[in-house]
Structure 1
Amino acid sequence: MTYKNEQLHEEKVFKDPVHAYVHVRDRVIWDLIATPEFQRLRRIKQLGTTNITFHGAEHSRFNHSLGVYEIVRRIIYNFQGRPHWNNDQRLLCMCAALLHDLGHGPFSHSFEKVFKLDHEYFTQQIILGDTYVNKVLERVSPGFAQEVADVIAKTHSDKLVVSLISSQIDADRMDYLLRDAYYTGVSYGHFDMERILRVMRPIEDQVVIKSSGMHAVEDYIMSRYQMYWQVYFHPVTRSAEVILTKILHRAKQLYESNYQFKLQPTHFLTFFSGDVSLEEYLKLDESVVHYYFQLWQEEEDEILRDLCERFMNRRLFKYVEFNPNKQIGDLMRLIQLFKDAGIDSDYYLVVDSSSDLPYDFYRPGEEEERLPIHLVMPNGTLKELSRHSDIVEAISGKKRTDHKLYFPKDMIYAIQDEEIKQDIIGILFSKERI
C-alpha cells in the first residue's frame, strides 16, 4: 500500500462541539495534523479580538481547520459513485481543507493590514517551502504539495475541487458560521448543515444544490448575513481592533525613529522592516504578541504605553456613528481640537469602516468574480439561486457598509481647557448623532 492510500490501524477521532466528532483514517491527514506548522494554529484565535466582546470566543484556527476537513470528508462520502465526481481527488480535497488557513498570523486580518501581509501567500509558502507539512505532502507524490497549494489559491484546474473549499457555499463558511455561533453563544449563525450536505451535488466545475434544498440554503445565507453584523462587525470588537492596529503602528513608528525599547522587540523586527522570512513568520503567534503588549505597558513612550494598557485591560475607545459623505467637516474640526488639546489624533481619533456582500450573482469581468449558487431543478436544468428565491433576491448584490468614529472618552473628559473640551463633546455627542 502506498503512503497516499495508507490507512491508520484504527480510526482516530477528535471530540468536537460542532460536528460531534472529527474522523481521521488516512495516515497523511494524521501526519499533517501532527506537524509543528499545523499545531501552531492552536495559538492563533479564529476570531481575533472578538473574545473581548463575546468572552466564549476563545476557539482557534486549529479547531476551525479540523472542522472544515470534517465537512469536506463528509461531502466526499456523499459524492461517492455520483457522476462528475473523481474519487482520485479525495485526498487532495481533504488536505486542502485541512491546510486552507495554515498561513494565518496573530490577530489575522488586523495584523495583515499593518504589515501589508497576505495569509494566503504564507499558506502557500508553508505548503511549498522547507517545512514538515511539505515533507508529508511530497511523500504522497512529487508535486502533490503544489496541487494542494493550487486548490487553496483557487488556480487548480479542477474547479469542482476548488468550489468545495472556496465558493459562496463552501466547507470553510459552513464551519466558521456554526463554530463561531457556538463559541460566541449567539443564535444567528445556526442553519441546517445536515440538510445542505444531503442536497449537495457535484457537476463538472462546481457544487450545486437540489432545488428541494433551497430553503436550507436561504437559511444559511441569512445566518451569514446576521453573523457579520451581529458578531464579526460588532462595534466593541472593532474598538479593540482599532487599538490593536494602533499599537502595531506605534511600535513600528518608534522602531523607525530609532526609539530604544526597554526590551528589544526581536520577534517584530523583520515585520517592521518589511523583510519577513517564513521561519520568522511562523515564530510569531498570539502568545508572543501578548507578551510584548504586556511589557509595553511599562514603556517610556506615553502613547504605546497607554494603548497597550487599554488593550490588555479592556479599556476601549467609545464610538459614534459617522457619515464620511456628510461629516468630513466635523472630522477635520475634531482633528484640530485634538491637536489643541495635546491629543494625537493619529492614534486617538479613528474612522473604522466595515462592509459585507452577503450574496452575489455572477458579474463577468469584475474584480473578485463570485460564482453564484445554482439550484438543480427537477428537469435537470440549473437555475441561479436569487432567481428562484425571493429572500435571496432581496439581498443579492447589495453591499452594506457601516462607519464608526472611535475615540477615548476618558481622555476627552480629562481635557483641562473647558472650551476645547465642550467643543469636542458638542461635535461627538450632538443630538443629530443620537
Structure 2
Amino acid sequence: MKHLQDCQGDLGIDDRDILRVQIAGLCHDLGHGPFSHMFDRKFMPHVCPHKGFKHESASLKMFEHIMESIKSEIIMGEEDKKFIKELIKSENDPSIPKSSYEGQREEKSFLYDIVANKRNGIDVDKWDYFARDCHHLGIANNFDHMRCLKFARVCEVDNRKQICFRDKEVDNLYNMFYTRNSLHRRAYQHKVNNIIEIMIMEAFVKADPYIKIQGSKGKMSISESVEDMEAYTKLTDNMFHQILYSSEPELEEAREILQKVERRELYKFVGERLPGKAEDCTNLKTELVNDIFISIQIQLQKDDFIVDVIDLNYGMKDQDPINNVRFYRKLNPDMAIKITQGQVSLLLPTQFEEQIIRVYCKKTDENILEAAKESFEQWCQKHGCKPQQEPTIASAP
C-alpha cells in the first residue's frame, strides 16, 4: 500500500485506505478453528457435510463479534467495516458482479487484490506463510516478495484498476506458485502430517457430542460452536489436551486416539500412487476399500482402511494462474499485457494439477499390512496408477 501510495500518487491512496487494508490483513484468518485447515476441510465436512462451513465466513462473523464487543462505531464507520469484510471474503473474484462492491469505490477496486486474491492467488497471505514456513521447515524459498512489491503497479484492465507486475517478474511469480506447490508436497500434504491430521479429526468427531462449550446461548458441541462466536472464540488448539487429559468415560475412544498420536503409534502407511486418469478418482474411496477388503480375506472391517485423495496444484486447479495475471513493460507502464508460457520458458510445467491416492491401515499386524500393500499394488496395476516419488524435507539449519 505504501509502495503504491509513493509511486502512483494519482491513485488517491490515503492513510485510512492503508489502515483498513492492514486491519483486513490481520483479521482475514480469524475464522480458523483448531488445527487450522484440519477443522474446516476434514472435521466440519465429516460432522456437518451439508453446512458448507468455510473459515472465511467464520472470519466475517468473528470480525463482527469483535466490532460489537469493542463498540467500534466510536472509531470506525459502517463503510469502513463493510469494506474490511469485503477484503476478507475476496471481492475480486471474477465471478462476482461489479455491483456487489459496496464498501469501496470502483476507482480503488485494486485494493481487493492485496489481502486474499481470488483472481490469480498473488496476495500477502501467501507471502506471509511462505516466508515463515520455509524458514521453520528449512526449505528454500525461491520467491522474492520484496522484489515483487518493488515492481507492482496499478493498471486498468477491462475498465477496472488491477495490480499488475513488471514483465520481467514473470519468472519470480512462477517461483511463487512453485514454492506453494513444494510446501504442500513436502510439508502440508506429507503422508505423516496427513495421517496425524486424520487421527486428530477422528478424535474430535468422537468427542464432538460430549465436549460442551459455553456460548451466548448456552452450552454447545464443538461443531455447533461455529454458529456462536462467543463459543467459537474458546475453540482453540487446546481442545487436543482437553480431550487427552480428560477422565470422562464418554471421551475414552477419542482419548485413546490422541494417546496414540502422542506415542507416535500412527495408522500405518500402505502406499500411494498417481491415478492413471482423473476419472479414476470418482467414487475412488469406496471402490478401493472394497477391492482391498475383498482381496485380503483377513478379519478386517472396511473402517480399518483410510483412503485419502490429495490434490496438488498451483492454486487454481488445473489452470496456469499466470494466465490471470497482467504485466506491464518499462516503456509503456500504463498498458496491461498478458504473457504466455511460450514467451517465458520451455522448461515450465505443462500440467498444473495432480492427485495422489494414499491408503492407510489402522491395524499394525505385519501380515495384514503386507497383504494390504499387495492388494493395493494389484489395484494400482489394474487402474494404471503410476508410482509417486517420496517427498523429503531438508534438515532445518
Give the TM-score, by structure 1 length. Answer: 0.66
Partner of residue 76 from structure 2, selected from 136, 140, 156: 140
TM-superposed deviation, 1:243: 0.9
Question: How do residues 279-318 of structure 1 correspond to structure 2 at under 5 angstroms?
Answer: 279-295=230-246, 299=249, 303-318=253-268
The amino acid across from 1:236 in the alignment is V
Name the count of aligned residue pairs. 335
CA 1:303–1:80 in 2, change beyond 3 Å: closer, same or farther?
Answer: same
Matching residue of 1:84: 11
The amino acid across from 1:107 in the alignment is F
The reply on whether 1:183 has 2:111 as its aligned counterpart is no
Distance in 2 (CA, whole Å) between partners of 1:339 and 1:302 is: 30
The amino acid across from 1:198 in the alignment is K
The reply on whether 1:202 has 2:130 as its aligned counterpart is no
TM-superposed deviation, 1:305: 4.1
Distance in 1 (CA, whole Å) between partners of 2:76 and 2:251 is: 52
Matching residue of 1:34: none
Q: Is the 8 A contact 1:78 1:198 kept in 2?
A: no
The reply on whether 1:407 has 2:361 as its aligned counterpart is yes
SS at match of 1:165: coil
The reply on whether 1:278 has 2:224 as its aligned counterpart is no
Residue ranges of structure 1 left out of the alignment (5+ in a row): 1-74, 256-263, 364-368
Matching residue of 1:223: 179
The reply on whether 1:325 has 2:273 as its aligned counterpart is no
Question: Percentage identity across aligned positions?
Answer: 18
Q: Is the 8 A contact 2:323 2:339 kept in 1?
A: no
CA 1:272–1:179 in 2, change beyond 3 Å: closer, same or farther?
Answer: closer
Distance in 1 (CA, whole Å) between partners of 2:142 and 2:74 is: 38
Question: How do residues 10-159 of structure 1 correspond to structure 2 at under 5 angstroms?
Answer: 75-82=1-8, 83-87=10-14, 88-112=16-40, 113-116=42-45, 117-129=53-65, 131=67, 135-136=71-72, 139-155=75-91, 156=101, 157=104, 158-159=108-109
The amino acid across from 1:184 in the alignment is L
Distance in 2 (CA, whole Å) between partners of 1:200 and 1:216 is: 12
Distance in 1 (CA, whole Å) between partners of 2:229 and 2:308 is: 31
Distance in 2 (CA, whole Å) between partners of 1:340 and 1:273 is: 39
Q: Which moved more, 1:282-291 or 1:136-145?
A: 136-145
- Cα RMSD, aligned residues only: 3.6
The amino acid across from 1:192 in the alignment is D
Q: Is the 8 A contact 1:103 1:120 kept in 2?
A: yes
SS at match of 2:33: coil
SS at match of 1:203: strand
Q: Is the 8 A contact 1:218 1:391 kept in 2?
A: no
The amino acid across from 1:270 in the alignment is S
TM-superposed deviation, 1:78: 4.5
SS at match of 2:56: helix
SS at match of 2:71: helix
Q: Deviations over 1:110-132 (max 9, x none)?
A: 21232243211111112223656
Residue ranges of structure 2 left out of the alignment (5+ in a row): 46-52, 92-100, 214-218, 388-397
Distance in 2 (CA, whole Å) between partners of 1:303 and 1:334 is: 26
CA 1:360–1:384 in 2, change beyond 3 Å: closer, same or farther?
Answer: farther
Distance in 1 (CA, whole Å) between partners of 2:74 and 2:351 is: 41
CA 1:273–1:285 in 2, change beyond 3 Å: closer, same or farther?
Answer: closer
Matching residue of 2:115: 165
CA 1:153–1:321 in 2, change beyond 3 Å: closer, same or farther?
Answer: same
Distance in 2 (CA, whole Å) between partners of 1:375 and 1:280 is: 45
TM-superposed deviation, 1:99: 1.1
Q: Is the 8 A contact 2:318 2:351 kept in 1?
A: no
Distance in 2 (CA, whole Å) between partners of 1:361 and 1:336 is: 34
Distance in 1 (CA, whole Å) between partners of 2:145 and 2:355 is: 28
The reply on whether 1:266 has 2:220 as its aligned counterpart is no
CA 1:329–1:125 in 2, change beyond 3 Å: closer, same or farther?
Answer: closer
Give the TM-score, by structure 2 length. Answer: 0.72
Whose RCO is larger (CA < 8 A, sep 6+)?
2
